[in-house]
Amino acid sequence: MNATFAYVLGIVILIIGIGLSVALHELGHMIPAKRFGVKVPEYFIGFGPRLWSFRRGETEYGVKAIWLGGYVRLLGMLPPASPSRPDKPGSSVAQAREESLGELGPDEQERAFYRLSVPRKLVVMAGGILTNLVLGIVLLAVAMGVVGQPGYTSTLATVSSCVLAERDLTSASQ
Q: Is the dihedral of CA 57, 59, 63, 67 positive or negative?
A: negative
**Residue among 26, 42, 58, 103 flagged as catalytic:** 26
Residue 108 burial class via C-beta count within 10 angstroms: exposed 0-12, middle 13-18, buried 19 and up: middle
Residue type at 151 in one-letter notation? G
Query: Nearest CA to 54 among 46, 62, 65?
Result: 62
Query: Nearest CA to 30 among 48, 43, 21?
Result: 43
Task: Determine the Cα–Cα distance for residues 111 and 174; give it in Å rounded to an integer.
Answer: 100
Active site residue 26: yes
Residue 18 burial class via C-beta count within 10 angstroms: exposed 0-12, middle 13-18, buried 19 and up: middle
The secondary structure element, H or E, covering residue 141 is: helix 118-146
Which residues are the active-site residues? 26
